[in-house]
Structure 1
């Protein structure tokens, strides 16, 4: 890819992005062959380009912060730390708060929207997946979006998978290796597959 082609790929039409963000908030299907699916594919290519640049060689905190701001199409606060490697297949539907720590190997599938509030900790190799597919094989390539929300001061343990539509409540802890399929109440510890409440956190 030529430098000119790379520059073009990095550019995002604000109107198209705003439409996509609004569209997925409705929970409607992203249908195979639709303009929304085409936008998703375009943004995936863009994310791959930006992430490839910061996944090779050494990059300091400021360089990573700048890349994340470009990737998400939003300013990323200097108190956000993301340890490489980091992957996402869209990038521009992630919202980071402040004082967030994301450890190595985290993968965010963010088309449906991912919001991470202040003080959250995300462990090694966590997967945040905001998309699903229907059971009907004739429409298996359609995507079903739903947002993930990691609330203030939540701690997501290593190798956890959090599925679409889940809110992890404030101050809660998701134990390592859990698969979270439904909302996690605030001030609780959940564990297992599927994750269940095993403990209340006393403040």
Structure 2
């Protein structure tokens, strides 16, 4: 997580450590309660953000700072409606552009590198439930998402837990990305297949 999160609570940092989640650490008990409380708070904040007049830059900046744990870089653009379940795990670099209707389920951490462009209604998911029905309601697991510099995520794309997307790559509209994307490549189709490289 980036330094401007302004969080000093050791328990918070322990349960939001992407490396622990990447190793299969489960979110349950006290950790789940803390996550649930944050989700309720951020849902309230994003619902307020998403009804502001489009030209209310000050109101938008204030709410985004509360959602993200600090102000994003000055040249980051986020067009509402904007959805996140946690906010504190979303790391936005310089000149990131997020179009309307995007969703960031960022509990395990999402990093968007410099000049990343995200098309409308793209979804980033870092957490999930086990497949086993007996375990499905007992815990969550997840892994961080890392998007390198100058990547373009097309409209309606879905990026799943643990995915890394290499520099200059393009994810076509509607693609579901479950595997890492090489740098300077185009992935497309329902399985996120590499179509070409440059």
* Contact 1:131 1:146 (C-alpha < 8 Å) held by counterparts: yes
Q: Which residue of 2 aligns with 1:99?
A: 95
Q: Which residue of 1 aligns with 2:141?
A: 144
Is 2:38 aligned against 1:43? yes
User: Structure 2: which 5+ runs fail to align?
Assistant: 1-5
Task: Quote the offset at 1:47 in angstroms.
Answer: 0.3
Is 2:18 aligned against 1:20? no
Is 2:152 aligned against 1:155? yes
Q: Which residue of 1 aligns with 2:197?
A: 200
TM-score normalised by the chain length of structure 2: 0.89
* Contact 2:52 2:60 (C-alpha < 8 Å) held by counterparts: no
* Contact 1:86 1:107 (C-alpha < 8 Å) held by counterparts: yes
* Contact 1:65 1:78 (C-alpha < 8 Å) held by counterparts: no
Is 2:62 aligned against 1:69? no
Indicate which of 116, 121, 134 corresponds to 1:120: 116
Q: Which moved more, 1:66-75 or 1:113-122?
A: 66-75
**Alignment partners' CA distance in 2, 1:169 and 1:64:** 30
* Contact 2:86 2:107 (C-alpha < 8 Å) held by counterparts: yes
The DSSP-based 3-state class of the residue aligned with 1:138 is coil
**Alignment partners' CA distance in 2, 1:153 and 1:112:** 22
TM-score normalised by the chain length of structure 1: 0.87
User: Structure 1: which 5+ runs fail to align?
Assistant: 1-11
